[in-house]
Amino acid sequence: MAEGWISLHRKYAETELWLSEPFTRGQAWVDLLILANHKDGFIRVRGQLIPVKRGQVGWSQERLAQRWQWSRKKVSNFLRELEKTAQQIEQQKNNISTIITILNYDAYQIKEQQKEPQKHSRSTAEEQQRNTNNNGNNENNENKKDKKHKRADAPFVLPDFIPQETWNAYLAVRDKKKAVKTPYALNLIIKELLKIQQIHNHDPVAVLNKSIKSGWVDVFPLRDADIPKPKSRYFPDVPDNWRM
């Protein structure tokens, strides 16, 4: 069982089946492998470009907690275990970002070039296998295009609990950040708002307003300081004979 490879496309990590329930520990580890950059790049954090190299994950613990449907503490403990005990990752933290490095990342990847086989029969078999894989990849690419097209056609309807004015302000933020506004992407935001409400009991409108105020294209659970305080009751002056 420990020998051999499977080719798993990253798109499967964005399906409803993958994201519908709280992650298992094994699923979270595989998810880190999928989320890791396959080539050097950058992420933008608070207006600054942070380099993310091949084999690194530029996701904060807060975003991972939302994706995995875990608490922040559980994410922190899991990453600490991978780093200290299993020695499978390294974490680089500073005041604006956290970068997770997958150790021996290339060991989890299929080598792009195979050594030339010594026997002609083996070479022929491998050539046939490559042709089969290429055909499969072509079919997968076509299926991906078809699914992407169908997904884009899914309608978006703004729920009644989100005021149109608030939603327009949020869309303006996405426009400014050049974030996609496909029906699929917007439905994911609504789904995340409902998840935050269910798990943290945070008002979706308040969560959305926080993202608008902060210039975020994603939505996150509110911090204690951001949760609206109930208004104190006002007691007007009353005659002395009414006082207790």
| Residue span of the structural domain in which 208 resides | 164-220
- What pTM, to 2 d.p., does this model score? 0.47
Tell me the mean pLDDT in the region 157-165.
88
- Residue 227 within a domain: no
- Sorted by sequence, the CB contacts under 8 Å of residue 82 that are 6+ apart come out as 29, 88, 89
pLDDT-wise least confident of 3-12, 89-98, 122-131, 205-214: 122-131
Phi/psi of residue 177, nearest 5 degrees: -85, 0
- Residue 41 within a domain: yes
- Check whether 110 has a pLDDT greater than 50: yes
- Residue 233 within a domain: no
Half-sphere exposure at residue 206, Cβ-oriented, CA atoms within 13 angstroms = 15
Q: How many domains does the chain have?
A: 2
Confidence at residue 242, expressed as pLDDT on a 0 to 100 scale: 47
Q: Are residues 169 and 95 in the same domain?
A: no
Q: Could you report the per-residue pLDDT of 39-67, keeping only the tens digit for each?
A: 999 888 887 888 999 999 998 899 999 99
- Residue 152 within a domain: no
